[in-house]
Structure 1
Amino acid sequence: MPTPQLTASPTTTPPPPAVLDVSVWTGTGWTDHQDVLIEDGTVTGIRDHRPGSPGLDGSGAHLLPGFVNTHTHLQQATCRGVGEGQPLLAWLLSVGEHMASVTPESAYLATVAGALEGLRSGTTTLVEHLWPHPSREVHAALLRGLEDVGVRALVGRGIADRPDPSRRWGFDPRLMEPLEDVLAHVDELVAGTRGSRTTPALAVPNPRSLTPEGLRAVAGFAGERDLRISIHLLETETDDVMCREHTGRGAVQYLDEAGFLSDRVLAVHGVALSGEDIRVLADRGAALSHNPVSNMRLGSGVAPVPALLAAGVPVGLGVDGAASNDRQDMLETLRTTAYVQRATHRRADLLGFADVVAMAVDGAGGVLGLPRRPGGGVTVGTPADLTLVRFDRDFGCLPVREPGAALLTTGSPRIVDTVMVDGEVVVRDGRSTRIDEDRLVAALRA
């Protein structure tokens, strides 16, 4: 059965040369009535508005860089609600049954659905953490889905070398293959995606899934090829409990003694990190992806974000997969990031809009190898990955007393009007310019 055909009729509309008369987030505040100039997919200038200039009308709107979703599992977009109410290990086994039955058709459909949902909430770059899977056709379908949607992505190829059906000290053997075969496939992915918006990476399910030899092999391979690695780390205390039981060391120490941790590693979740764990991550230059909605949904707890930031660990924001979050809504993640930390620390002045948007745009950018946008503002010389919001698309946001506060406390995908990747308009009036959304809905219902 071929993968569904969901792409819309191609448009001949050229990328706009500018976004005109818009209020721009600079990283420190909003500057009104600006023209943001774009050439060859790059922001080339920001100037006071010049009436009569050609470009996209941004009058009455607000412009900020697209968000970077530092952690998701797109293939879960067709298994929403699986394992609801189950603790983490039981939930993993439930989701694992669905992952074991993934086909190229379902992988493509899930990728399009999840990536487009993210785009429509202002996400222009996503970090896909693939579960290990032996099918090359499944990987090809996912890459095709990303290309069709037009999003920018780092795609972590799943990798594990310790089999264990229980997932306590290893990974599902049905989805594993020899380490050397996986690494050879990563080289193929690097060659096949060159020049596209997709960058291959490596994705480790958790510290329990790789032997010390496997950890060293993955770290060495990534270092030789300048690839990034994402790894679920201490989402709960299970990583520590299992690592201590089998090795006599905590999870972070286990990784560090194998030479795995570095400034190319993105740890995901980090809910159960100790103070010493945080110090080690900071010393090694690793970053953390904070996924607050998923952590609440699965009852995992609250990551120590203020302590991580104080120690110098870069923190980005992630949505996680649809089986543990249910939505790919980055605006919801921004709000939840602030609210859960304020509730935990009993401080209403913790993590305001400027802090949270900086994490969502640039928090883990250095570790991920992305162009830096200091403070999370629109920056000359960076790719034109931009999100235009109009608060009047949702009366629940009105009146707007301060745009940042409105985005943080009331923002929803309804206010996302236009999204650009490399200067190309991939969402217009809240809908995809590349995907036939009616066909997508029909395919998902089926």
Structure 2
Amino acid sequence: MHDIKFIRDNPEAFDQGLAKRGLPAQASGLIALDDTRRGLIARLQALQERRNAASKEIGQAMGKGDKAKAEEIKAEVARIKEGMPAEEDALKAAEAKLHETLAAIPNIPGDDVPLGPDETANVEVRRVGEPRRLNSAKQHFEIGEALGLMDFETAAKISGARFVVLKGQLAQLERALGSFMVDLHTREHGYTEVAPPLIVRDETMFGTAQLPKFAEDQFHTTDGRWLIPTAEVSLTNLVRESLLEEDVLPLRVTAWTPCFRAEAGAAGRDTRGMIRQHQFAKVELVSITSPEQSGDEHERMTRCAEEVLKRLDLPYRVMALSTGDMGFSARKTYDLEVWLPGQNTYREISSCSVCGEFQARRMDARFKPKEGKGARFVHTLNGSGVAVGRALIAVLENYQNPDGSVTIPDVLRPYMNNDTTIKAK
């Protein structure tokens, strides 16, 4: 959510930020909406002041015995009272229009974000590990189905397309990956584990900017709530409508949850396999910081997510997303892309973003500085640490063997009865 005061004071800078995302200038229109709102506030205040003054004048006129004057003023007060509801309704409509317009505008990119219209302008920051070049490398769904442990047909009977049933060692592998990630982030990276709600209210989805713009990508319940598309929603909103002490910052929390996405805009993309599912597991990282901490925290969070891939010995690269490829709430984003031999390419497995005060304004999340008066908005950050289903895909494809079995990475073996391989039933 943007600050209309900042827009009024810096219209050119605001429009330049939108231009980086390929969006038209909007400052003048927003200022006009705010002018309307301000005019209505001023008019309503003038009416209230006149009503109060007139009420006193009635008493004065009565005190002087001027009944005619008193009746005249009473009539004026009655007219003011009669007209005020319409003025109040007009003000509410103007405030709603301004709020609605501001809520639909994405965050302004940071100055160090690569300029470009889409993913073609993303910049590789670093590459870790050598991509595995395997003879006749299979894709994850070919491996899983051949093992008899990955069943899309039965899942379709139960739930429809974009679902999967994992069995036996693959179900265990998914659980092992999630447990390994949570243990790493809580024991070594200083995150506090949280078990958050998976169903949330409108205000919660608005706070992290899934609403109103992305409603069609979400699953809506019959009682008007939403299934979370990512634990970012629940975790970030832990500080909604709060006033924190600066000493507690940064706050770092993590959660391993199911996530639910309608994938309304993904028709025809990744229709086979587990890359793009309606239901998937993810370990999420969220940090709440002061403005001065958020830049360093973004780099730290990205390194925490990278460590998962390093421990799994999976080749990956870090990409700085361009202004045209970033998410709605982000000021800056790094994507981690893991190497998939079956596809002979890198695919996203984590996205780590710093959002500045964009989400905090929508949630009214503030902190009290140790020095100075007043309160400031916190900065929020979120990242996948990492997507569990995609990590499973990466393990299957990178650790596949010619005989159809899959070697279990060393760090996961304690979570899998110390087995060394996944074999066909």
- Do Structure 1 and Structure 2 share a fold, with TM-score over 0.5? no
What TM-score does the superposition give when structure 2 sets the normalisation length? 0.24
What TM-score does the superposition give when structure 1 sets the normalisation length? 0.23
Radius of gyration: which is bigger? Answer: 2
